[in-house]
């Protein structure tokens, strides 16, 4: 357990560096700018979601360590908005300014095998797994774990990429081929009742704050809907304290300074299993922008700047619906119809190219109860389909 040298906090007016330039960085930059910070973003892409709202968009490869060091010299502290930043990049930055959370967190989180091994070593419940390097290792792992099972590349995919389900042992060879014979992890299949997540943050002095449980529904491996508080049965209510304890343990064991999300499976017999950890703000926490006193992005900013963590009080029940590129298939969504609805917030990420499965934005609905918020956000998303398109959808 390392203790961060408590240096003086990075105060408003300073410049924050962000490695990565997607929508997570965009929402972080908007919160940072609201509080008077400047934001520089670094990624290989141009006119990015983060770059559109940052003070400066640096375009270079993560492997270009000269450009990385130059970027670091212009800022007071660096954070990241996605895991897959090469370790050498984080290391080069760390030689010049603090990187929070540190590179060791990235190293573990960007590889499923290291992540699973870390969880198992901490005694944290997760799905049974085996390390698989060859087809014969896959076959013997299947013999031990049984089927169905899920084969995942050890290096991270996201949104359901880099994984294949194996229904019976005869599918082993084709599954191995599908993932290109890379180093993999075979996970036992978990029959779960629901998926929940906990977004939390840890400050530079070890302070801890969390947002309460959020319930998530996925479609094709991509988050579709989130609602808080979750729609749990009475027997499931006591799991929140356990989820908080596990999340806190993870934050402390990894010595995280920043925001982190833990995704859990809740089994039908009320057991919590960790599915994965994301050492950054998370899609399921987007509703904190509208439903909580301090959003997950402001919390990340406060933590990495060495400021006190903000209040995570929930103001109202909320539900979030992702807007994927598929919504644009028949033309521009009907924004006017949605903006006419009360208690609804639209967030668009400034992405030009609406491809199917691509996260283009989200809607958040607020209400007195989670059920009502969920109903409201689904109705709103449906209203985005113009009348003729909604009819088409009904006829299909």
In the chain, domain spans: 15-99, 128-188, 192-391
> Terminus-to-terminus CA distance in the chain, angstroms?
57
Pairing verdict, β 77-80 and 15-19: parallel
Q: Could you tell me which residues come within 8 angstroms of residue 239 by beta carbon, excluding any fewer than 6 positions away?
A: 213, 232, 266, 270, 272
- Could you list the beta-strand ranges (E) of the chain: 15-19, 38-43, 56-59, 77-80, 129-132, 149-153, 163-166, 184-188, 192-202, 208-219, 222-228, 258-267, 272-278, 317-324, 344-348, 359-367
Strands across the sheet containing 77-80: 56-59, 38-43, 15-19, 77-80
Walk along the chain (396 residues) and give the pLDDT tens digit of each residue.
444 555 799 999 999 999 999 999 999 999 999 999 999 999 999 999 999 999 999 999 999 999 999 999 999 999 999 888 998 999 999 999 999 999 889 999 989 999 999 999 999 999 999 999 999 999 999 999 999 999 999 886 666 678 899 999 999 999 999 988 889 999 999 889 999 999 999 999 999 999 999 999 999 889 999 999 999 887 777 899 999 999 999 999 999 999 999 999 999 889 999 999 999 999 999 999 999 999 999 999 999 999 999 999 999 999 999 999 999 998 999 999 999 999 999 999 999 999 999 999 999 999 999 999 999 999 999 999 866 555 555 555
Question: Which residue from 325, 331, 221 is spatially nearest to 276, judged by alpha carbons?
Answer: 221
Pairing verdict, β 317-324 and 222-228: antiparallel
Peptide bond before residue 148 is cis, with ω within 30 degrees of 0: yes
Tell me if residue 317 falls in helix, strand or coil. strand
> Any idea what the Cα angle at residue 174 is, between residues 278 and 137, rounded to 5°?
70
Structure confidence at residue 2 (pLDDT) = 45
Do 337 and 383 form a contact (C-beta atoms < 8 A)?
Answer: yes
Q: Could you give the CA distance from residue 140 to residue 132 in angstroms, rounded to a whole number? A: 9
> Any idea what the Cα angle at residue 160 is, between residues 157 and 162, rounded to 5°?
45
pTM: 0.93
Strands across the sheet containing 192-202: 272-278, 258-267, 192-202, 208-219, 222-228, 317-324, 359-367, 344-348
Tell me if residue 250 falls in helix, strand or coil. helix
Structure confidence at residue 57 (pLDDT) = 98
Place of tokens 């933590």: 303
User: Domain 128-188 is of which CATH architecture?
Assistant: 2-Layer Sandwich (3.30)
Helix axes 87-94, 65-73, angle to 10 degrees: 40
Q: Which CATH number fits domain 15-99: 3.10.20.30, 3.40.50.720, 3.40.1050.10, 3.40.50.20?
A: 3.40.50.20
Question: Which residue from 161, 143, 150, 110 is spatially nearest to 126, judged by alpha carbons?
Answer: 150
Tell me: domain 192-391, CATH 2.40.170.20, correct? no
Structure confidence at residue 84 (pLDDT) = 84
Structure confidence at residue 103 (pLDDT) = 87
């Amino acid at each position: 357990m390392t203790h961060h040298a408590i240096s003086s906090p990075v105060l408003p007016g300073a410049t924050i560096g962000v490695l990565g330039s997607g929508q997570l960085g965009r929402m972080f930059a908007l919160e940072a700018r609201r509080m008077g910070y400047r934001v520089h973003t670094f990624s290989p892409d141009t006119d990015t979601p983060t770059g559109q709202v940052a003070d400066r968009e640096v375009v270079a490869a993560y492997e270009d360590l000269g450009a990385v060091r130059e970027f670091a010299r212009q800022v007071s502290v660096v954070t990241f908005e996605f895991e897959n930043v090469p370790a050498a990049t984080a290391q080069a930055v760390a030689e010049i300014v603090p990187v929070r959370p540190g590179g060791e967190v990235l190293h573990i989180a960007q590889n499923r095998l290291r992540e699973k091994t870390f969880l198992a070593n901490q005694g944290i419940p997760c799905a049974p797994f085996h390390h698989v390097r060859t087809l014969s290792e896959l076959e013997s792992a299947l013999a031990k774990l049984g089927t169905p099972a899920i084969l995942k590349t050890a290096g991270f995919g996201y949104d359901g990429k880099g994984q294949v389900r194996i229904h019976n042992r005869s599918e082993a060879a084709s599954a191995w081929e599908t993932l290109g014979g890379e180093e993999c992890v075979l996970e036992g299949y978990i029959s779960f009742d629901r998926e929940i997540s906990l977004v939390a943050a840890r400050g530079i002095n070890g302070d801890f704050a969390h947002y309460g449980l959020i319930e998530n529904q996925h479609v094709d491996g991509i988050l579709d809907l989130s609602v808080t508080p979750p729609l749990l049965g009475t027997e499931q209510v006591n799991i929140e304290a356990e989820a908080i304890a596990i999340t806190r343990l993870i934050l402390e064991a990894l010595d995280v300074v920043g925001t982190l999300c833990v995704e859990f499976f809740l089994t039908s017999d009320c057991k919590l299993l960790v599915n994965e950890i994301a050492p950054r703000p998370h899609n399921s926490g987007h509703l904190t922008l509208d439903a909580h006193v301090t959003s997950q992005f402001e919390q990340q900013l406060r933590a990495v700047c060495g400021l006190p963590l903000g209040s995570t009080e929930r103001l109202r029940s909320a539900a979030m619906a992702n807007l994927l590129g598929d919504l644009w298939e028949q033309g521009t969504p009907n924004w006017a119809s949605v903006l006419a609805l009360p208690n609804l917030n639209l967030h668009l990420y400034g992405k030009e190219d609406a491809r199917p499965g691509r996260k283009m934005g989200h809607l958040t609905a607020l209400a007195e109860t989670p059920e009502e918020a969920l109903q409201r956000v689904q109705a709103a998303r449906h209203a985005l389909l113009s009348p003729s398109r909604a009819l088409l959808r009904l006829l299909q």
